[in-house]
Structure 1
């Protein structure tokens, strides 16, 4: 993937993880979950936690505000983002465009098809 696309994905995960740690309850296990999946030139990143009293939403802070910009950054960088609720688990996810560089019309990392799918889940706690 292009380095800039990786940087964007890392920033989005950082913002989602920061929000989970600051505003939400932990998962029943006491931690939070982080997952990502890359397929066909897109990466979906997700952070799961035990939910909060309020729904995650992009804020519109004033220029002098010290915080409140995280989901605005996610909204700007991602093609789409949203919130899923599954029982006591809340997951905030974002999809970013992450194409592979091409060399002479071929994907340089995988040799071509673009159908590679990578998934991971890591629980932090």
Structure 2
């Protein structure tokens, strides 16, 4: 999500979602991104001029019966396609999708007109994550 807020264009104007729209997935959040928040060029908004419509990033999640949590982050796309990188040890960034690749059982990128979605399927109910009902110290 941080990459979407930092590098990608926001989605168009954010819709106001009612309870019925939220029923399609277990959860979703629309995160507002201030105009010009994608700091890839480090540019700031001019003090005057027309304001861009409010946009943002859409985050969705769903827990499946088999214990897999699916997460999706949708934004307006960026200059490059999301790919895992191999940053140097001193690099300040570039590790996000490599971490997702290690944690997720599967992940990918979906393109649609005016938007890009990065999704990941994470095993959320692994054997080590189960509660035993015993003392917390023995768990």
TM-score, normalised via structure 2 length: 0.60
> Any gaps of 5 or more consecutive residues in structure 2?
14-54, 134-139
**1:31 partner SS:** strand
Query: Which structure 2 residues correspond to residues 25-64 of structure 1 after superposition, within 5 A?
Result: 25-29=9-13, 30-39=55-64, 40-64=66-90
How far is 1:79 from its partner? 0.8
**Which whole-Å deviations, capped at 9, do the CAs of 1:59-106 have from their partners, x for residues lacking one?**
0001111111111111111111110011111100000001173769xx
Superposed structure 1 runs of 4+ greater than 3 Å apart: none
Residue of 86, 90, 100 corresponding to 1:74: 100
Say yes or no: does 1:86 pair with 2:70. no
Q: Distance in 2 between matches of 1:91 and 1:66?
A: 24
Q: Distance in 2 between matches of 1:70 and 1:79?
A: 15
> Any gaps of 5 or more consecutive residues in structure 1?
1-16, 105-125
More helix by share: 1
TM-score, normalised via structure 1 length: 0.66
**Which whole-Å deviations, capped at 9, do the CAs of 1:5-34 have from their partners, x for residues lacking one?**
xxxxxxxxxxxx101011100001101100
Say yes or no: does 1:19 pair with 2:45. no
Count of paired positions: 88
More strand by share: 1
Structure 1 equivalent of residue 17 of structure 2: none
